[in-house]
Amino acid sequence: MMFFVFILTLLGMYLLFISTEKYRSPKSTGHFKSLAQKYYSLLRILAFLLFALSGFILIKKYGFSIGFVSWWIFATPLTFLLILWLNPLKPSKTSSKSSI
């Protein structure tokens, strides 16, 4: 059951990634990307429904407080990893001005 909830949450995160402006850039080509450009609002709604379904399954199995907290613990690292995957960290180019 927990694996199924994990997959639902991961799929919801991926659908949110597909519906972002960065993924739907006009330069990109491909059949799947053109569908994402056309139905991006539907993809967002589907992603949030997947989040709600995974949260509902956990709440139904473990009770409201523990189910919500366990869903939150599943969603937080996935969100962080998705942000790192979308925006690779690069060192910033700042001048080294010392205040001394």
Predicted TM-score of the model (pTM): 0.64
Reply yes or no on whether the pLDDT at 27 is more than 70: no
Six token digits for residue 40: 């991006």
* pLDDT of 69: 79
Q: Does the pLDDT at position 31 exceed 70? A: no
Q: Tell me what pLDDT residue 1 has.
A: 77
pLDDT, tens digit, 9 for 90 and up, residues 62-99: 888 887 777 777 777 777 777 777 666 676 676 656 55
Per the prediction, the chain carries an average pLDDT of 75
